[in-house]
Amino acid sequence: MSENLVRFGILGCANIARKVSRAIRLSRNATLWAIGSRSIDKAARFAAENGFPASAKVYGSYEAVLDDADVDAVYVPLPTSLHVRWAVAAAERRKHLLLEKPVALNAAELDTILAACEANGVQYMDATMWMHHPRTARMRQFLDDPRRFGPLKSVHSIFCYNPGPEFHNNDIRVTPDLDALGALGDTGWYCIRAILWANDYQLPEKVTALREVKYNEAGVILSCAASLSWADGKISTFYCSFLTNLTMDITCAGTDGNLRLHDFVIPFQENLAHFYTTSESRFAELSLGVVPLPSEHAVTTELPQEALMVSEFARLAADIERNGAKPEKKWPTISRKTQLVVDAVRASIERGFEPVEVGN
């Protein structure tokens, strides 16, 4: 490891890797060190187009990135079906692992990845970027306030977008041998994470998928929805889709307040994000309105959320390498809980929309 910077290698030239490459450049404790692709020409073109320093290594294979002793950490944006192979290979070469979501096709695959990370003492984190925006911490403060919000009762989350014919014909996210989870793994991952986050990562007792699932001709999910229930009476729902106009909403309802936002996955503005709260709401006289009016909260950030993600991941990796710290267990824990709920939704669909108990 260099004196001040965690050196990143990237496996593959996926479109999302362009955004993360920029995030690594913006981070103050990380640097772009290597890019690997099955085509060295493609890797060289990616490096040139995405601001890699002239000293960056360009490789014609993923193996070469992992074999580079100077690479401290890898970002893996490969198709989900390839995650087990390359994530485990990275961990076994003691590369800290930033893994694109969905992280695996099922919890058994993820357990294999996490076991390799633990055995080799490397940091694991999934690339769910909104978790790192300062707005997320501010919203958590409101949800934890017994006076303004009270006990949580329900969460509803939606993430959908309609990317058009080119996506539906060619994207890996609708190709069964590359990303078999489809919209459930892509947009549904975010919805489920939002619900778990609001519930302080307490897993639901049961999950029931709703019947109106849409598939493409290859049998990949294009849209689905589900309800989640807890033993203490809490209920949550989500809807995820590749067939509906861009929507990124969370609504949290408590006994004494509620929280709303409309851009939880990617803020409408890179350096400014909003959320809305109300407490002790009631109908106005003659039900001519509602009082009090919602409060709008604005949260600014110097760095975009993806750069904050990279910075936090690099901080954890550097602490391990320089100070002998143990990997932070928060990130693999919440990643696994998210995957367990994804698995339960898929199982409910496959079992004819029956309620499915969430595993451990």
Query: Cβ distance 249 to 264 under 8 Å?
Result: yes
What would the pLDDT profile of 147-165 be if each residue is shown by its tens digit? 999 999 999 999 999 999 9
Peptide bond into 355 cis (omega under 30): no
Dihedral sign of CA atoms 74, 77, 78, 84 in order: positive
What would the pLDDT profile of 284-300 be if each residue is shown by its tens digit? 999 999 999 999 999 99
pLDDT at 110 over 70: yes
Whole-structure pTM value: 0.97
Token pair belonging to 94 = 């003691």
What would the pLDDT profile of 298-347 be if each residue is shown by its tens digit? 999 999 999 999 999 999 999 999 999 999 999 999 999 999 999 999 99
Look up 337 and say whether it is catalytic: no
Tell me the CB-side half-sphere exposure of residue 248, using CA atoms within 13 A.
Answer: 17
Strand partners, 274: 298
Main-chain dihedrals φ then ψ at residue 70, nearest 5 degrees: -85, -10
Beta strand 57-59 pairing with 30-36: parallel
- Residue 359's pLDDT band, with cuts at 50, 70 and 90, is confident
* CATH 3.90.1300.10 for domain 6-129: no
Distances (CA, A) of 316 to 61, 101, 124, 137, 322: 27, 20, 9, 19, 10
Query: Cβ distance 37 to 63 under 8 Å?
Result: no
Distances (CA, A) of 170 to 80, 163, 183: 16, 11, 15
Calpha distance 15→77 (Å, rounded): 9
Could you tell me which of 271, 317, 344 has the C-alpha nearest to residue 5?
317
Q: Taking residues 49-70, what's their average pLDDT?
A: 97
| Angle at CA of residue 87, ends 81 and 93, nearest 5° | 150
Q: Taking residues 78-99, what's their average pLDDT?
A: 98
**pLDDT score, position 4:** 83
- Residue 38's pLDDT band, with cuts at 50, 70 and 90, is very high
Write the single-letter amino acid at 248: M
Length of the chain, in residues: 360
**pLDDT score, position 200:** 98
Query: Can you spell out the DSSP letters for 195-221?
Result: HHHHTTTPPPSEEEE-S--EE-TTS-E
Q: Taking residues 122-136, what's their average pLDDT?
A: 98
State which H helix or E strand residue 75 sits in: strand 73-76
Calpha distance 226→236 (Å, rounded): 8
Burial grade of 220 (CB within 10 A; 0-12, 13-18, 19 or more)? buried
pLDDT at 1 over 60: no
**pLDDT score, position 3:** 66
Neighbours of 133 (CB within 10 A): 22
Calpha distance 107→338 (Å, rounded): 9
Q: Which residue ranges make up each domain of the chain?
A: 6-129, 133-305+339-357
Distances (CA, A) of 176 to 99, 106, 189, 220: 20, 14, 17, 6
**pLDDT score, position 2:** 58
Specify the DSSP class assigned to residue 269. B
Q: Taking residues 279-285, what's their average pLDDT?
A: 95
Catalytic residue among 19, 57, 101, 337: 101
Query: What percent helix, strand, coil does the chain show, rounded to 5?
Result: 40, 25, 35
Token pair belonging to 285 = 């006289």
Specify the DSSP class assigned to residue 299. E
Q: 133-305+339-357 has which CATH code? A: 3.30.360.10
Tracing tokens 């029956």 back to the chain, one arrives at: 354
Neighbours of 9 (CB within 10 A): 27
**pLDDT score, position 337:** 98
Token pair belonging to 97 = 């692992």
